[in-house]
Amino acid sequence: MAQSNILIIYTGGTIGMIKSESGVLLPFNFENLLNYIPLLKNFPANIHSYSFDTPIDSSDANPDFWVKLVKIISENYDNYDGFVILHGSDTMAFTASALSFMLENLTKPVILTGSQLPIGLLRTDGRENIIAAIELAALKKNEKPIISEVCIYFENSLYRGCRTNKYSAENFDAFISPNYPKLASVGIDITVYEDRLMHSNLDFLITHTELCKEIAIIKFFPGIQSKTIDAIINIPNLKGIIIETYGSGNAPTDPEIIASLKHAIDNNIIVLNITQCTVGKVNQGKYLTSTQLKEIGVISGSDMTTEAALTKLMYLLGKKFSGSELSKLLSLSLRGELTP
Ligand code: ASP
């Protein structure tokens, strides 16, 4: 079988950082990174790399950065069997979710990975993460890549990107996929759970690079006042709000809060409901405290992570969907991001 061609895209993050004289971690040059894994030169895949001119800490990731990544992938799409993106872990779940929506009909893997400790440190988790991510990206069956979606690989597990969130700033296994099982486990053997993978029926990549930034997230808390919600709703040009509610999608019944949300919906601002709970989903109508939300037209985000909900809204609003079509698409699983 022909060796896989893999493109590593280095964007920055702890994996490639070194300590400055003042002790602060700063991004450094990609060539240095490869020096720490000489093994890659003899890897049973053809590996090429692309490095961002100015590597970033992923806290600086934004929609323009995602567009840049999409362009690099689409320009190189035909020449590679898979892509590994080295990325800071802080916003990796946002980037993975955004790329899931921006890259439609993927037939090749796009695997994001990084590390909690810089590659230059003896105990780094980066070396194993990069090597396993490349191995997973290079896997083929009948000459075709086995994985064909955007994923995150971290500490022995491969996850669907738009199902993940970073839950630990300490542990090597920094990510979880609370509402969808992992796609592969890496131990002595690599086990890919093929029945959990996404597959596109179409083999031409479509890229979407218009993302709407006119979005806000409101996290509910006991004591939240309608004036807080009003202040956000009155942001000029706002197109969508994600509300992070309690439990299975419950919010205070305070009539002023409900009136504020209704005012937003009446003014064509889409309101999407996701839960603050890590596990489980929104079920509007289960309790009285969510029935009103349903009645005024709040859309249920099911079990979407904040990262998936935000980037899905950016993507759909960027495509200029509105009204019932937008509501319908938000409730459907487009890239495996929710359980319908
Ligand atoms: N601050 C870093 C980043 O996200 C953390 C990491 O890479 O793990 O870029």
Task: Give the tens place of pLDDT for each residue, 89-130.
Answer: 999 999 999 999 999 999 999 999 999 998 888 899 999 999
| Ligand 1: centre distance to CA 71 (Å) | 23
CB contact at 8 A, 171 and 151? no
What integer is the mean pLDDT of 161-188? 97
Task: State whether the beta carbon of 114 lies less than 6 angstroms from ligand 1.
Answer: yes
What amino acid is encoded at 48 in this protein?
H
Task: State whether the beta carbon of 128 lies less than 6 angstroms from ligand 1.
Answer: no
**Domain extent for 318:** 215-331
Asked if pLDDT for residue 162 goes beyond 70, the answer is yes
Asked if pLDDT for residue 31 goes beyond 80, the answer is no
Task: State whether the beta carbon of 13 lies less than 6 angstroms from ligand 1.
Answer: yes
The answer on 257 and 139 residing in a single domain is no
81 C-beta neighbours (distance < 10 Å), count: 22
Locate the ligand 1 atom nearest the alpha carbon of residue 14 and give its number: 7
Q: Let me know if residue 336 belongs to a domain.
A: no
pLDDT tens digits, one per residue of 9-27: 999 998 888 777 888 877 7
Q: Let me know if residue 293 belongs to a domain.
A: yes
Model confidence at 32, pLDDT cuts 50, 70, 90, reads: low
The answer on 147 and 78 residing in a single domain is yes
Domain closes at, from 207, 225, 245: 207
Q: Let me know if residue 127 belongs to a domain.
A: yes
What integer is the mean pLDDT of 192-204? 93
Model confidence at 225, pLDDT cuts 50, 70, 90, reads: very high
Q: Let me know if residue 288 belongs to a domain.
A: yes
234 C-beta neighbours (distance < 10 Å), count: 12
Locate the ligand 1 atom nearest the alpha carbon of residue 27 and give its number: 9
The number of residues making up the chain comes to 340
Domain closes at, from 191, 207, 223: 207
The answer on 314 and 203 residing in a single domain is no
CB contact at 8 A, 91 and 58? yes
Please tell me the predicted confidence (pLDDT) of residue 102: 98
pLDDT tens digits, one per residue of 304-314: 999 999 999 99
Please tell me the predicted confidence (pLDDT) of residue 33: 67
The answer on 60 and 119 residing in a single domain is yes
